[in-house]
Structure 1
Amino acid sequence: MTIDYLVADPSGNTTILVLTPVAKAQHSSLAAQLLALPGIEAEQVGYVSREAGKPLRVDMMGGEFCGNASRSAAAWALACDGGEQGVYDVSCSGCDAVLPAKVARKGEGTYEAFIEMPYPEDVSGILIAVDDFPARFFRVDLPGITHFVHFVPSLEGLDKEKYWTILQDYVDGEDLPAYGLVLCDTKKGEMIPAVYVRDTDTLYWENSCGSGSAAVAAALACTTHKNVACYMKQPGGTLAIAAKVSEKGDLQQIFIGGPVTLGEVETVTIS
């Protein structure tokens, strides 16, 4: 099988975008082969298709939702159109809503892309035992992925693997297609995200995470009942996050955005 693809870098969350039509039944196995290619240090694979009169379609390797891959697909569409800026509707696996993405070309192969994120199905505060003491987490159920956000005084010296093990034990028995952990220091505007995808059995401590960033925005908006707008630094880059609330303080909209770099289209033959 000959595959056309490009490597996108949406704020550090390196993503392989497959441009050749591939049957869904092959998505997981082909993704594993692409991620193992020498010289490509990507965290995920998305399959992109474009049909006139329809939204861009992004199918992630495990059927999960991904905001960064959706932003990258919109940047690719603008590159194909040769424009300087544009708004593209994006449909992504794991999410029934069509999401508008606004893209602007910044230079050769570089773009800035913002996308409205899907509305959470639920945002709730929960207690999980950490070192035998109850610790507050926010569970944010987004379409296609559930994030657990934990606000900490500082990320320095934090044992992230310990928190992941604790979260694994907590969700054991739940049938979640994808779930993530976000450790966040709001004072410094920093976060460390991790995502596990069930169908590909992959865990990545991601360089940046769009849905995790949206989960942070949702948790902050729901606790303060105020609009949120800030930058969130992550291991591989920075994302802008925003959440809008009503006059009563109810969550209405969530946005994320930041830079996207697109590589050249490459071709590879997979046996």
Structure 2
Amino acid sequence: MKVKIRVADPAGNITIFVMTPLERSQYAEAANQLLEQKKYKAEQVGFVEEKEDGTLHMQMMGGEFCGNATRSFGYLKSLMDEKHPALVQVDVSGSESPLDVEVDLESGTSRTTMPLPRKIVNLSVPGQGTCPMVCFDGISHMIVKGPRRSDAFVQEVLKAARACETCDAYGIMFLEPSGDGMEKCYRMTPVVYVVETDSLVWESSCGSGSMACAVYLADRKADGTYVYVLRQPDGQIEATVIRREGKTVQCKMGGKVTISGELEAEIL
């Protein structure tokens, strides 16, 4: 069958939005088939659903939350609205409440509020020590200091994380200083595993992973606003953490976005 799609590029984290209605039972297979079509260079798939009240919902391929897809969806909604609003509210999987997306079509950027993390715990990985795990609804991110490590190491961390926390998706963010001497600027290499599709992808950038790193870096700091720049394989994301009374009370992240016109894709 043929489906209508839009291809978004939020800081290199290529995301396919399926605009044609499908049954949710079809999502995993449809996503896998679209990801296999190399011409799109996609790393993830989201499905745009129309709710009974006529508003739109974006459901990620595994029901997980994705920050880059969220801000891209907000950008898409602004594009599709003849008024092109600068502030768009989006309803997305993995978030219990709607999120605000700030869109600047002229500069080609969007920034979204993010769900607050539920907790930060130290994850014990047998034979590898411990690493912080930042847990959001729908996705948990492990933060490993230093450059990218082996696939075997990734599998050990994922195994420990899945035994500790049940989520729709898990990310491992390899985090190190940027090397250029800029304060609050880091290099991040993300890999994400989605349970429903059994897919492990070394992503070009990761929005929720960027937010997890920023939350971790700001944890236990004094009240205030902390802005971090996360440079990733194919893009850059700015993540902002606001702390009050010793707690993280607001998270935002954003960067560049481009979205294709409507395309047609073939799936079985």
TM-score of the aligned structures, taking structure 1 as reference length:
0.88
- The aligned amino acid for 1:140 is V
1:232 correspondence with 2:226: no
**Mapped contact 2:215–2:241 kept (Cα < 8 A):** yes
Distance 1:60 1:172 in 2: 20
Q: 1:43 is matched with which residue?
A: 43
Q: Which amino acid aligns with 1:178?
A: A
Relative to structure 1, the CA distance from residue 51 to residue 115 in structure 2 (aligned partners, 3 Å threshold; closer, same or farther) is same
Equivalent residue, structure 2, for 1:101: 101
2:264 alignment partner in structure 1? 267
Question: Match for residue 147 of structure 1?
Answer: 141
Identity %: 32
How do 1:1-271 and structure 2 match up within 5 A? Answer: 1-49=1-49, 56-83=56-83, 85-106=85-106, 111-128=108-125, 134-135=129-130, 137-152=131-146, 155=147, 158-174=148-164, 175-186=166-177, 188=179, 189-226=186-223, 227-246=225-244, 248-271=245-268
Q: 1:199 to 1:52 in 2, by over 3 A?
A: closer
On the 8 A contact 1:56/1:88 being kept in 2, the answer is no
Q: 1:7–1:15: 8 Å Cα contact kept in structure 2?
A: yes
Map Cα deviations across residues 21-47 of structure 1 (whole Å, 9 max, x no partner). Answer: 111111111111111224121001001
Mapped to 2, the partners of 1:106 and 1:170 lie a distance apart of 44
Unaligned runs of 5+ in 1: none
159-168 or 205-214: which moved more? 159-168
Name the SS for the 2:261 alignment partner.
Answer: coil
Q: Residue 99 of structure 1: CA displacement?
A: 0.7
The offset of 1:129, in angstroms, is: 5.1
Could you list the per-position Cα deviations for residues 30-89 of structure 1 after superposition, in whole angstroms to 9, with x for gaps in the alignment?
111111224121001001235697764110111111111111111111111244552111
- The SS at the match of 2:246 is coil
Aligned residues: 260
Please report how far the alpha carbon of residue 130 of structure 1 lies from its aligned counterpart in structure 2 after TM superposition.
5.5
Q: What are structure 2's unaligned runs of at least 5 residues?
A: 180-185
Write the letter of the residue equivalent to 2:227: A
Instruction: Tell me, yes or no, if the aligned pair for 2:141 and 2:170 is still in contact at 8 Å.
Output: yes
Task: Give yes or no for contact 2:13–2:68 (8 Å, CA) kept in 1.
Answer: yes
Letter of the 1:120 partner, please give it.
P
Letter in 2 for 1:216: C
